[in-house]
Chains A and B, each alone.
Chain A
Amino acid sequence: MVDGFDGTENWTGDERAQLQWFLNMQRDMLLWKVERLSDDQLRQTHPPSALTLIGLVKHLTRVERSWLQQDLLGPGEIRFGDPADEWHLEPGESCADVIDRYRETIRRSDEIVAGLSLDTVLADPHPLQKGVTLRWALFHMIEETARHVGHADLIRESIDGAVGQNRWHP
């Protein structure tokens, strides 16, 4: 579960509270989709797609770090080495490591975002996205995470038949 997130709908809060709620809901749905599976199941592909559940978690960890950390603050403030392979486990890496790192990354993203206005312009965005604000980046994170949750829905269903919207409204 995303730390401190209980799924209680927040539809009367301010813009920031609502954005944060939607992002946390997407993150939590992904964490829910990877629960109660073995490492082999998390690494299973479902041809023709090459995607795996653990690959989605690892990819979204890199995406969080790019958008809500490094691109937002700039490489002078924070810099990560890109993973050698953001879609697969590397030697010595376990599924639990990848999931823990995603949760830690979420905590760190939220700390950084909490201190900034939604109008903050990203310090070091992709060249095609120069001028984008934190508000834009948060919506992008919501839609990208939601789309990968859509992938996770079908992959999980192929693994053990489990389906459902989220842990509160399964």
Chain B
Amino acid sequence: MALVDRYTRPEPPIAGDEREILLGFLDFLRETLILKTMDLSEEDAREPHIPSGMSLLSILKHITAVERHWFRREFLDENLDAEFGPRDRNAEWIVMEHETADDLRAAYRETCEKSNEIVRAHSLDDTIRSTARPEREGMQLRWIVAHMIEETARHAGHMDLIREAIDGEVGE
């Protein structure tokens, strides 16, 4: 994904097959998350500003782990422990002192590009390879992409209110 601003954020394609529509919605939402973290001080981006304790950057760090989890650990059954360690659902919400907004945006973009490569290299009918959760047998790539759309959209909703609390900026 190229650098984006509010004028170049890609809208989901009106025409196109199911896969391109799915990825179109997902890319639109991913870029929305990135936009919501921009033009702020490091401090504002990492402070929660709301009672829940989530911050713009903690959400970005979490959703990066979620992308990696669904497309690589679950769908492809890749072992990422050497590269990233086992998934830690608490640590993935904590922004470390040395992690900057630029670092976290770059990691998110890189992870999303990898996710899109995986989706484009498979049929939406292909099923999950990980057998860690036997009840998920038969889960299709279609379901995983749709889940990423709903989860990314919900976190965009969280970011809407956090950003508004920081500097009053609102908007879709």
* Chain A residues in the interface with B (C-beta under 8 A): 11-12, 15, 18-19, 22, 25-26, 48-49, 51, 129-132, 135-136, 139-140, 142-144, 146-155, 157-158, 163
Q: Which of A11, A136, A142, A158 has the most CB of B within 10 A?
A: A11
Q: 5 closest A-B pairs (Cβ-Cβ)?
A: A150-B157, A146-B153, A11-B139, A143-B153, A147-B157
How near does chain A come to B12, taking the closest CB pair, in angstroms?
7
Evaluate contact between B29 and A154: CB separation under 8 angstroms: no
How near does chain B come to A99, taking the closest CB pair, in angstroms?
19
Of B77-85, B101-109, B110-118, B158-166, the one with at least 4 CB within 8 A of chain A? B158-166
Evaluate contact between B157 and A11: CB separation under 8 angstroms: no
B2 proximity list for chain A (CB < 8 A): none
Known: A136-B14, A146-B151. 18 other contacts (CB 8 A): A18-B140, A18-B142, A19-B146, A49-B164, A135-B18, A139-B146, A142-B153, A143-B149, A144-B153, A146-B149, A148-B157, A149-B157, A150-B160, A151-B160, A153-B157, A154-B158, A154-B162, A158-B51
Q: Which of B140, B153, B164 has the most CB of A within 10 A?
A: B153
Task: Report the Cα distance A155→B153, complex, angstroms.
Answer: 16
Q: Which residue of B lies closest to A152 (CB)?
A: B157
Q: Which residue of A lies closest to B160 (CB)?
A: A151
Considering the complex, which residues of chain B in the window 50-80 have a beta carbon less than 8 Å from any beta carbon of chain A? 50-52
B22 proximity list for chain A (CB < 8 A): 139
Task: Report the Cα distance A132→B15, complex, angstroms.
Answer: 7
Q: Interface residue count for B (Cβ, 8 Å)?
A: 35
Task: Report the Cα distance A101→B162, complex, angstroms.
Answer: 30
In the assembled complex, 22 residue pairs joining A and B whose CB atoms fall closer than 8 Å, in A order, are: A11-B140, A12-B140, A19-B146, A22-B146, A22-B149, A48-B165, A49-B161, A51-B161, A131-B15, A132-B14, A136-B12, A139-B146, A143-B29, A143-B150, A146-B151, A146-B157, A147-B160, A150-B158, A154-B50, A154-B158, A154-B161, A163-B52
Contact of A136 among B21, B142, B147 (CB under 8 A): B21
Contact of A131 among B12, B14, B147, B153 (CB under 8 A): B14
Q: Which residue of B lies closest to A22 (CB)?
A: B146
Evaluate contact between B156 and A139: CB separation under 8 angstroms: no
B142 proximity list for chain A (CB < 8 A): 15, 18
How near does chain B come to A52, taking the closest CB pair, in angstroms?
12
Contact of A139 among B12, B147, B155 (CB under 8 A): B12
How near does chain B come to A163, taking the closest CB pair, in angstroms?
7
Q: Which residue of A lies closest to B28 (CB)?
A: A143
A148 proximity list for chain B (CB < 8 A): 157
Task: Report the Cα distance A98→B5, complex, angstroms.
Answer: 37
Contact of A146 among B14, B18, B21, B154 (CB under 8 A): B154
